[in-house]
Amino acid sequence: MAELQINGVRIEDTFAEAFPMTYTRLVITADTPAWVDAATSSLTGFATSVIGCGCEAAVERLLTPEETPDSRPGAAVMIFGMSTGDLAKHVVNRVGQCVMTSPGSACYAGLLDGAKRILLGGGLRYFGDGHQIAKKFGDRRFWRLPVMDGEFVCEDSVAVGKGIGGGNFLILAASHRQCLAAAEAAVAAIRPLPGIILPFPGGVVRSGSKVGSKYKALIASTNTRFCPTLRAVEPETLLTPDVEAVLELVLDGTDETAIRAGMRAGIAAAVAGGTAAGVLAITAGNYGGKLGPHHFHLHEVMA
């Protein structure tokens, strides 16, 4: 195996295995940034992994009033699903329960071009109980639904695109504190980049998973090869004795270019302090190439 080190940190000669997903982008606006946060926090809640949540979602970036359709504070949110049908169900349910209910909010399409579209306001209009009104501006159609603080304005539909889920890398460190500091630095480097979300809490995963389990009812279970407390009993452990903590970053993105850019920025930030900061190695999660067709080789990403 070829060896690559950055600031003394070993970059493993392996690849992150990612898989195709369907995604869309929504623009959520409200009267103030605080109410944008309230709506988007609710919208993206319980959306870390399709394994248990059905979809994966997070804020892509905050928007200024100059960037939103109604000249108010806003945020772009990306939502990923395993199919267009699954995505459509989760989007309309989440917008209806989490955005329409949030005071002063509105919801617009953040992805306009695409061969396929899913409903937003077109699926929620019946909540207006016959008092809903459709308006068309150019090629875009909107619904105005009466609610108790005025009207909920929602675009009729939004385009969907073919994205990628499961881009990832793992940080191996000498302590939990040092591992978390490196992960936080990686998150801070990735979040400003376009076309990427980090769906897990704070952008970081501590309970990395592997495919399958000793229990037949489970499709995934804890990644025992990277659990420090199992090092003595796990025959396939990938941890050396000096590794006391491992954290993973999972990236969903619009395409391979976005995922690669996010991984590169995140890894560079994670290893910036070198081994002096307690970071010992960077690796990635793969399943022998059997899970997904998108393989992001760490040495190529960091070349």
Tokens of 168: 């990832």
Which of 93, 128, 161 terminates a domain? The answer is 161
Which of 161, 192, 220 terminates a domain? The answer is 161
Which of 134, 161, 188 terminates a domain? The answer is 161
Over the stretch 48-97, which tens digit does the pLDDT of each residue have? 999 889 999 999 999 999 999 999 999 999 999 999 999 999 999 999 99
Residue 143, pLDDT score: 98
Residue 288, pLDDT score: 81
Does the pLDDT at position 2 exceed 80?
Answer: no
C-alpha–C-alpha distance, residues 130 and 197, integer Å: 37
How many Å from the N-terminal Cα to the C-terminal Cα in the chain? 15
Per-residue CA distances from 176 to 160, 171, 183, 280 (Å) = 39, 11, 10, 12
Over the stretch 131-165, which tens digit does the pLDDT of each residue have? 999 999 999 999 999 999 999 999 999 999 999 99
Question: Which CATH number covers residue 151?
Answer: 3.30.70.520
Q: Are 280 and 10 in contact (CB under 8 A)?
A: yes
Residues 6+ apart with CB under 8 A from 7: 271, 272, 273, 274, 275
Name residue, tokens 């100059």: 66
Over the stretch 261-286, which tens digit does the pLDDT of each residue have? 999 999 999 999 999 999 999 999 98
Residue 47, pLDDT score: 97
Residues 172 and 225 placed together within one structural domain of the fold = yes
Residues 147 and 175 placed together within one structural domain of the fold = no
Give 62's strand partners. Answer: 75
Over the stretch 176-224, which tens digit does the pLDDT of each residue have? 999 999 999 999 999 999 999 999 999 999 999 888 899 999 888 999 9
Residues 175 and 296 placed together within one structural domain of the fold = yes
Calculate the CA 83 to chain-centre distance: 16
Residue 219, pLDDT score: 86
Residues 11 and 42 placed together within one structural domain of the fold = no
Residues 96 and 48 placed together within one structural domain of the fold = yes
Residue 134's domain spans which residues? 21-161
Residue 72 has phi, psi (to 5 degrees) of: -125, 165
Residue 51, pLDDT score: 87
Q: CB atoms < 10 A from the CB of 189, how many?
A: 18
